[in-house]
Amino acid sequence: MAEEENVLAELDGIRRAGLDALSSVQDEAGLQAWRTTHLGRSSPVMLVFTRLGQISKEMRPAVGQKANQVKQALEAALEERGEFVRTASLRQKLDTERLDITLPGRRNPLGRIHPASQALAEIVHIFEEMGFQEYRSPEVETEEFNFELLNIPEHHPARDMWDTFHTTVPGTVLRTHTSPGQIHAMREMCPRPIRVILPGMVYRYEQTNASHEAQFNQVELLAVGKNITMGDMKGTIEGFARRMFGEHVRVRMRPSYFPFTEPSGDIVMECFVCGSKGCPVCKYSGWLEIAGCGMVHPIVLQNGGYDPTIYSGFAAGLGPERIALLKYQVNDIRYFFQNDIRFLEQF
Ligand code: DAH
């Protein structure tokens, strides 16, 4: 009998201890911990239930009932304390975290056209005003179009001028220049006169540096007709440079070599980046090559379907990124394709 009375007194103690501990719980984590200690599987009140079997038959209902009451009282107290803790934390949040609805909203950033595309569009626009028509040709070419038809035979040392990306399809390459477009244009338009520009991306398997990238744009220029002379070529290119850079720009043409033109030249402009003093962009020469040019080689005219004894033509290949470097005074061509927003946002 004494043992049973002890259990009843013990249960009162368990209730008191539980309620005492609960009154100092302040947050969600404390509630969880309290639940484990005071209502969990091995909490004092739950252990009383496991001991019921050792209690005499007569007293067992009384002890069981009391244990249930204690358990329910603790559960109800937990519920109440939980409510209190959650309300308090909400009130504290409302007091400390203020929402200032007068702050201006954040704008969605607006995209813009990539500077290389802007330069390309501007160049194309100038030539269109001069009567040239835009023409597109493929970026993946056969070696025949990229080289042979442009008078660069297989195994000829002139092929070394272009470090080429070959594709997995034999005889197929990423075009190293826009010049194969000349053949496509001529074959489509022969025997009509031609004034076209061919803009687009070209690819070189190259070591990159301040003025060389492995991919860049080119704009190919092609005029074919009767009585087209080098004077026409010089006038066209100088006219372009003046529209692009201003009336007083200094441009010069110097002799060069390309297999698909004869004679060939380079068009060089004074280096705006350093004011012709010499810098990494112009390789310390004060001049920057912006285009190759020349009179279309008779073999190339023939490959395009034009009789070179009747027709002549000039061609040029311009580098829009080079031109953008000059125009915006950027000192490294690699910025264009690094995709750094801080650079791109300036245009
Ligand atoms: N295709 C040449 C290159 O990528 C550039 C070029 C030079 C194009 C002279 C021409 C030209 O049309 O006449 O290096």
Each residue of 271-284: pLDDT tens digit? 767 778 888 767 88
Same domain? For 164 and 242 the reply is yes
Same domain? For 205 and 304 the reply is yes
41 Cα: distance to centroid of ligand 1 (angstroms): 85
Q: How do the residues of the chain divide into helix, strand and coil, expressed in percent and rounded to 5?
A: 45, 20, 35
Domain boundary among 39, 65, 96: 96
> From the alpha carbon of 314, which atom of ligand 1 is closest?
13
Same domain? For 186 and 260 the reply is yes
- Indicate which residue's Cα is closest to atom 3 of ligand 1: 177
306-322: per-residue pLDDT in tens?
999 999 999 999 988 88
Same domain? For 119 and 88 the reply is no
Same domain? For 92 and 191 the reply is no
- Give the pLDDT confidence score for residue 258 in this predicted structure: 95
Model confidence at 3: pLDDT above 70:
no
Does residue 101 sit within a domain?
Answer: no
Same domain? For 44 and 182 the reply is no
Which pLDDT band holds residue 327 (cuts at 50, 70, 90)?
confident
Does residue 103 sit within a domain?
Answer: no
Same domain? For 71 and 169 the reply is no
> Domain count of the chain?
2
Domain boundary among 63, 96, 129: 96
Question: How many angstroms separate the Cα of 171 from the Cα of each of 162, 243, 303, 319?
Answer: 15, 40, 19, 26
Is 82:290 a contact under the CB 8 Å cutoff?
no
> From the alpha carbon of 179, which atom of ligand 1 is closest?
1
Domain boundary among 42, 68, 96: 96
- Indicate which residue's Cα is closest to atom 10 of ligand 1: 316
Does residue 79 sit within a domain?
Answer: yes
**pTM of whole model > 0.85?**
no
CATH number of the domain bearing residue 216 = 3.30.930.10
Over pLDDT 90: what percentage of the chain?
58
CA 317 to chain centroid, in Å, comes to: 27
Which of 218, 178, 214, 162 shows the shortest CA–CA distance to 338? 214
For a pocket test of ligand 1, which of 202, 258, 301 has the largest count of ligand atoms closer than 8 A to its C-beta?
258
- Give the pLDDT confidence score for residue 274 in this predicted structure: 79
Burial (CB count within 10 angstroms: exposed 0-12, middle 13-18, buried 19+), residue 129: exposed
Exposure string over 295-319, b if 16+ CB within 10 A, otherwise e: bbbbebbbbbebeeeebbbbbbbbb
Which of 198, 175, 183 shows the shortest CA–CA distance to 301? 183
Greatest alpha-carbon pair distance for the chain in Å reads 131
205-228: per-residue pLDDT in tens?
887 777 778 888 999 999 999 999
Same domain? For 50 and 174 the reply is no
Domain housing 50: 2-96
- Give the pLDDT confidence score for residue 124 in this predicted structure: 94
- Give the pLDDT confidence score for residue 86 in this predicted structure: 92
The two structure tokens encoding residue 181: 């477009």
Does residue 151 sit within a domain?
Answer: yes
- Give the pLDDT confidence score for residue 4 in this predicted structure: 67
Same domain? For 32 and 149 the reply is no
Same domain? For 76 and 176 the reply is no
Same domain? For 122 and 85 the reply is no
105 Cα: distance to centroid of ligand 1 (angstroms): 51
The two structure tokens encoding residue 198: 């061919």
151-177: per-residue pLDDT in tens?
999 888 888 888 889 999 999 999 999
Q: Is 185 in the pocket of ligand 1 (CB under 6 A)?
A: no
Same domain? For 59 and 150 the reply is no
- Give the pLDDT confidence score for residue 212 in this predicted structure: 77
Alpha helices by DSSP H, listed for the chain, are 2-23, 28-39, 44-51, 60-96, 115-129, 143-146, 180-189, 230-245, 298-303, 320-328, 341-344
Which pLDDT band holds residue 263 (cuts at 50, 70, 90)?
very high
Over pLDDT 70: what percentage of the chain?
98
Model confidence at 142: pLDDT above 70:
yes
